Amino acid sequence: MAENVTVARPYAEAVFRTAKETGTLDAWSGRLQRLAMIARDPEMAEVIGNPKLSAEQVAQLFISLAEDNDAVLGNFIRVLADNERLTLLPEIAALFEAQKAADAGVKEAVVQTAFPLADADLSALMPQLEAHFKTRLVPTVVVDAGLIGGVRVAVGDQVLDASVRGKLEAMATALKN
Do 139 and 71 sit in the same domain of this protein?
Answer: no
pLDDT computed for residue 156 by the predictor: 83
Q: What is the pLDDT of residue 157?
A: 86
Q: In the prediction, which pLDDT does 2 show?
A: 60
Give the pLDDT score at 33: 96
CB 73 within 8 A of CB 63: yes
Tell whether 33 and 112 lie within a shared domain: no
Q: For residue 159, what pLDDT is reported?
A: 93
Tell me: do 81 and 154 sit in the same domain. no
Do 9 and 96 reside in the same domain of the chain?
A: yes
**Which residues of the chain are under the pLDDT cut of 50?**
none
Question: Residue 138: helix, strand or coil by DSSP?
Answer: strand
Residue 119, helix vs strand vs coil: helix
Show the domain range for 80.
Answer: 2-102
Nearest CA-CA partner of 143 in 152, 135, 134, 154: 152
Last residue of a domain, one of 49, 71, 102: 102
Domain count for the chain, please give it.
Answer: 2
Same domain, 95 and 109: no
pLDDT at position 54 is: 94
For 114-127, what is each residue's pLDDT tens digit? 999 999 999 999 99
For residues 88 and 11, membership in a common domain is answered with: yes
Distances (CA, A) of 175 to 116, 149, 160, 170: 32, 22, 21, 9
